[in-house]
Structure 1
Amino acid sequence: MKAAFLVGGAVGYVLGTRAGRQQFDKIRSKAQELWEDPRVQDGISDVEHRASDLVREKGPEIKEKVTGAVKSASEQVRGGKDQDSGTNGTASSSTTGSGTV
């Protein structure tokens, strides 16, 4: 979060300044130093590991939810078949009109 704030501040400063290329090069150099700082790289590595762990942990759950959502959407596109197992794809009694879907 802090790194993103610093990068955003640096970009805003560069875009807003009239100091020209020299100031831009200074900021770019400082940003490069910050990026190469071992503490920053360790933080990035920690985030990558936590993200990988989260994907491994939650991946199957997310896969099931997405699969269910796709099946549901697919059924709705095909006319609601299997939505209400007691109707065999026909209009329910609450449907008004000619009885066709």
Structure 2
Amino acid sequence: MRMKAAFLLGGAVGYVLGTRAGRQQFEKIRTQAQRLWEDPRVQEGIADVEQRASDLVKEKGPEIKEKVTGAVRSANDAVRGGDSDDSEAAGGKPNGTTA
């Protein structure tokens, strides 16, 4: 019984000391990461990436929109089994819908 109590006491002391040391190490790492994130060079790099992404979206957006629109129309035609060009040529809306 003494052996079991000594083991549990040792485990409890080890746990307390280990968590305290672990928390200190965690705080140290968190502080270093925060300092790195706030570094002006890092923020400048992030701003550059955001600007390039924004420019790319503005440049490719219309092209992507056309491709998506075409894919949706093709899928719609495949599901309905018709060709939207025929109904539009007849003066109606695509797939025989009305206004």
Asked if these proteins are the same fold (TM beyond 0.5), I'd say yes
Per-residue CA distance 1:45-97 (angstroms, 9 max, x = gap): 00000000000000000000000011111111112x118x7xxxxxxxxxxxx
CA RMSD of aligned residues (A): 2.0
Per-residue CA distance 1:1-49 (angstroms, 9 max, x = gap): xxxxxxxxxxxxxxxxx85111110110000000000000000000000
Secondary structure in 2 matching 1:20: helix
* Unaligned stretches of 5+ residues in structure 2: 1-18, 87-99
* Unaligned stretches of 5+ residues in structure 1: 1-17, 86-101
Between the aligned partners of 1:42 and 1:82, the Cα distance in structure 2 is 51
- Segments of 4+ in structure 1 off by > 3 A? none
What is the match of residue 30 of structure 2? 28
Greater C-alpha radius of gyration: 2
Secondary structure in 2 matching 1:22: helix
Secondary structure in 1 matching 2:83: coil
1:48 pairs, out of 41, 47, 50, with 50
The count of aligned residue pairs is: 67
Between the aligned partners of 1:67 and 1:61, the Cα distance in structure 2 is 10
Alignment of 1:81-92 (within 5 A): 81-82=82-83
**Alignment TM-score, normalising by the size of structure 1:** 0.61
